[in-house]
DNA sequence: CTGAAAGCGCTTACAG
DNA sequence: CTGAAAGCGCTTACAG
């Protein structure tokens, strides 16, 4: 590989001058700068990043530990948000997938420590509490889509409650009066907080004759989860007679669309449907297209890396707002 | 940060001895090895990767250029397959997303060149031909899910034709006689080859009264594509009267399920449905669950990195077999 | 089995 | 404005 010395010899200057040109040192005389630039181009020279890092004693590496991420498609936006900004700031985002079967968090941290990572983003697949090894402490760390029990780290999580309040309020404002909210499992944070948000919207709404029915249709029988969405949607349409159904996540909306159609009803006409997540192509695959609250993963990824780039150390608990994606289902 | 010299001082040996222990040199006397190991643990020492790379003149980096990848969820398996093996072989997989708007291929290659990448995997979002800049040539490169026009690179792509032949043959063997294949756009390779595969299955099948109808339901009107799947599925069920429908990809199957239900028919009873891709959660979200040919992305990722790890240079054009995921839709 | 020297490709700190 | 020296944290090559 061509080195700084090869370029220097080719250009007829000291190799230190080449270094100056490479690092945009303005003190280089234009004549020399041009000679060097020409030689760099001629030899196709590129500074060796590893050597730069060694000498500078700065790695330029930011670690991204993705805990069980990427089993859900849109979570990749967390990485994308971080990566875009890392790139702009000349940092290397080193992404490590971690999961119970294969790679331990400890392994990932060791790896990043070996690379002298300047910061770490730890991201979870779904909004939850995490417990991180003590080992992390030497490196500035920020959590995305999760928060820690011990309060050692800054974190950003989606504002579940506000999202549910917003979409429920929107339904009420459109004139829907009887809303059935087929919620996620209420053991998880999204389930709990969205319930509270929907209730708040009803409490704030002045209209009368409004009724809210909330129930969890993701059943957690020990090891795995199963959905009773189809069953309960069908039953509720007969009994509770909702004019709108709010679904805990877009895949549930698919199930509800099938039920609605099977009962001879039309989404968006006989019954409104709303949802959460903006899950991959699902919302636009459905007809009418699904109005849903998009998770702010991209924003959270950006916020997290900005926190590190700005060398913040305050222990904020930040929330990120969902984006209402207005389509045609209610 | 603690360095090799700190460890040496703490252990009372030359720093070269620490280096030997770190690199598992068997010639170190057990007494000294243990002293060093104890000091490493006490000081929480970890070799500086950048310094190692600099001195060894090996980066240990393999680049993964993801062209517009990750807009389709399962394509992440390409990365996962490569990453798992990279990890095992102590290589760093440096993943770079490339897309028209933001990051150029040239930018990605420059980046990798600066890191002295030892090899590059170039992966496309969907099976297609690509044209790569001349710049790539100095580094061993292999293509995944795509192939190049010039024949400069080894590549691995999914065996589309065999996949279509297999699932069509399976339908025929189960007794289905009139199969409507709602194909992808036939401008793309998957569309072309799957058509050929379905036709081959019919040609090979001995049964009589069999009929195959193939048509593309993804219309390409200039800039964007639109699906006429619902429309054509409904019309064909009336006119061609298929007893089975094969869909070009799982999202199309969702559309067909809606059509089938709207006509008062039952998937798996009145009409069989098969598909391609194994797209995220779609196949199990449908009821009955969808039988589909899973794209071999994970395998292709593994094959590609193995090609590089084994320092192969032969210009193979490898194909990877889809996996038939047997569920209940036909 | 161990260590002192040289060197990887750069940047830092200093001299001129 | 430019260069020669020293040094980053390691490994290589060699001597003992």
Task: Tell if B19 CB is < 7 Å from nucleic strand D.
Answer: yes
What residues are paired with A65 via a beta bridge?
A96, A122
Task: Quote the DSSP letter at residue A290.
Answer: P
Q: What residue ranges define each of the domains in chain A, with the CATH number in brackets?
A: 4-47 (1.10.260.40), 61-159+297-322 (3.40.50.2300), 160-294 (3.40.50.2300)
Q: Can you tell me the mean pLDDT for A209-214?
A: 94
pLDDT band with cut points at 50, 70 and 90 for residue A305: very high
Instruction: Give residue ranges of B with CB < 8 Å to any A CB.
Output: 1, 46-51, 53-54, 57, 59, 70, 73, 76, 80, 83-84, 87, 92, 94-95, 97, 102-103, 110, 113-116, 230, 251, 254-255, 257-258, 261-262, 280-281, 285, 287
pLDDT at A88 over 80: yes
How high is the pLDDT of residue A252? 97
**Rounded to 5 degrees, what are φ and ψ at A219?**
-95, 135
Q: Residue A145: which residues within 8 A CB-CB, separation 6 or more?
A: A75, A78, A123, A124, A125, A126, A127, A156, A157, A158, A297, A300
How high is the pLDDT of residue A46? 94
Q: Which of B54, B80, B94 sits opposite A54 (nearest CB)?
A: B54
Q: Residue B299: which residues within 8 A CB-CB, separation 6 or more?
A: B81, B320, B321
By the 8 A CB rule, do B179 and B245 touch?
Answer: yes
By the 8 A CB rule, do A222 and A193 touch?
Answer: no
Note the pLDDT tens digit of each residue in A23-75: 999 999 999 999 999 999 999 999 999 999 999 999 999 999 998 766 677 78
Six-digit token string for A133:
């090894």
By the 8 A CB rule, do A10 and A43 touch?
Answer: yes
Q: Can you tell me the mean pLDDT for A290-297?
A: 97
How high is the pLDDT of residue B69? 61
pLDDT band with cut points at 50, 70 and 90 for residue A210: very high
Dist. CA A45–CA A6, nearest whole Å = 9
Residue to test with chain A: of B23, B44, B50, most A Cβ within 10 A: B50
Residue to test with chain A: of B73, B81, B116, B265, most A Cβ within 10 A: B73
How high is the pLDDT of residue A101? 65
CA distance B214 to chain A (A): 22
Q: Can you tell me the mean pLDDT for A222-227?
A: 83
Task: Tell if A5 CB is < 7 Å from nucleic strand C.
Answer: yes
A37 CA vs D6 C1’ separation (Å) = 27
Nearest to A142 by CA among A72, A81, A58: A81
B232 CA vs C2 C1’ separation (Å) = 80
Note the pLDDT tens digit of each residue in A234-287: 999 999 999 999 999 999 999 999 999 999 999 999 999 999 999 999 999 999
Note the pLDDT tens digit of each residue in A154-208: 999 999 999 999 999 999 999 999 999 999 999 999 999 999 999 999 999 987 7
The pairing of beta strand B323-325 with beta strand B291-294: antiparallel
pLDDT at A102 over 80: no
Task: Using the structure block, give the residue that is written with the tokens 């990195």.
Answer: B305
Under-50 pLDDT residues of chain B: none
Q: By CA distance, what is A284's nearest residue in B?
A: B251
Task: Tell if B56 CB is < 7 Å from nucleic strand D.
Answer: yes
By the 8 A CB rule, do B171 and B272 touch?
Answer: yes
Share of chain A above pLDDT 90, in %: 81
A49/B114 Cβ within 8 A: yes
Question: Burial, B287: exposed, middle or buried (Cβ in 10 Å; 0-12, 13-18, 19+)?
Answer: middle
A267 by DSSP, 3-state: which?
Answer: strand
Residue to test with chain B: of A1, A44, A46, A50, most B Cβ within 10 A: A50
What residues are paired with B293 via a beta bridge?
B276, B324
**Rounded to 5 degrees, what are φ and ψ at B86?**
-60, -50
Six-digit token string for B45:
């020492």
Q: Which of A1, A102, A262 sits opposite B116 (nearest CB)?
A: A1
pLDDT higher at A95 or B208: A95
Note the pLDDT tens digit of each residue in B237-293: 999 999 999 999 999 999 999 999 999 999 999 999 999 999 999 999 999 999 999
Chain D: nucleotides below 7 Å from protein CB are 1-5, 7-13
Nearest 5°: CA angle at A321, between A204 and A317? 100
Nearest to B188 by CA among B246, B146, B230: B146
How high is the pLDDT of residue B73? 77
Q: What are the distances in angstroms from CA A197 to CA A54, A204, A229?
A: 51, 11, 21
How high is the pLDDT of residue B204? 94
The nucleotide minimizing the C1' distance to residue A20's CA is: C11
Q: Which of B51, B97, B114 sits opposite A83 (nearest CB)?
A: B97
SS (H, E, C) B180-249: EEEECCCCCHHHHHHHHHHHHHHHHCCCCCCEEEEEECEEEECCEEEECHHHHHHHHHHHCCCCEEEECC
Q: Can you tell me the mean pLDDT for A145-149?
A: 93
């Amino acid at each position: 590989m061509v080195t700084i010395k090869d370029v220097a010899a080719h250009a007829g200057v000291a190799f230190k001058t080449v270094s100056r040109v490479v690092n945009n040192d303005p003190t280089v005389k234009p004549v020399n700068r041009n000679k060097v630039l020409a030689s760099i181009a001629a030899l196709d020279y590129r500074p060796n990043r590893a050597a730069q890092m060694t000498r500078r004693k700065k790695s330029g590496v930011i670690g991204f530990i993705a805990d069980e991420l990427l089993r859900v498609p849109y979570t990749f936006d967390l990485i994308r948000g971080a990566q875009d900004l890392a790139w702009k700031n000349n940092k290397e985002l080193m992404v490590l997938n971690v999961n119970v079967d294969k790679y331990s968090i400890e392994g990932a941290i060791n790896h990043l420590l070996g690379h002298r990572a300047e910061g770490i983003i730890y991201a979870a697949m779904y909004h939850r509490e995490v417990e991180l090894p003590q080992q992390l402490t030497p490196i500035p760390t920020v959590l995305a889509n999760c928060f820690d029990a011990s309060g050692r780290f800054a974190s950003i999580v989606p504002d579940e409650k506000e999202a549910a309040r917003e979409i429920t309020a929107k339904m009420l404002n459109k004139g829907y009066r009887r809303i059935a909210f087929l919620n996620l499992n209420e053991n998880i944070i999204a389930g709990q907080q969205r319930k509270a948000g929907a209730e708040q919207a009803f409490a704030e709404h002045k209209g009368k004759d409004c009724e809210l029915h909330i129930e969890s249709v993701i059943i957690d029988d020990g090891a795995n989860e199963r959905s009773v969405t189809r069953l309960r949607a069908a039953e509720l349409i007969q009994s509770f007679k909702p004019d709108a159904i709010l679904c805990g996540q877009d895949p549930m909306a698919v199930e509800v669309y099938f039920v609605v159609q099977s009962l001879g009803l039309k989404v968006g006409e006989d019954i409104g449907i709303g949802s959460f997540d903006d899950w991959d192509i699902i919302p636009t695959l459905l007809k009418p297209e699904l109005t849903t609250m998009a998770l702010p993963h991209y924003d959270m990824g950006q916020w997290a890396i900005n926190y590190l780039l700005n060398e913040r150390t305050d222990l904020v608990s930040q929330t990120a707002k969902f984006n209402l994606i207005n389509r045609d289902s209610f």
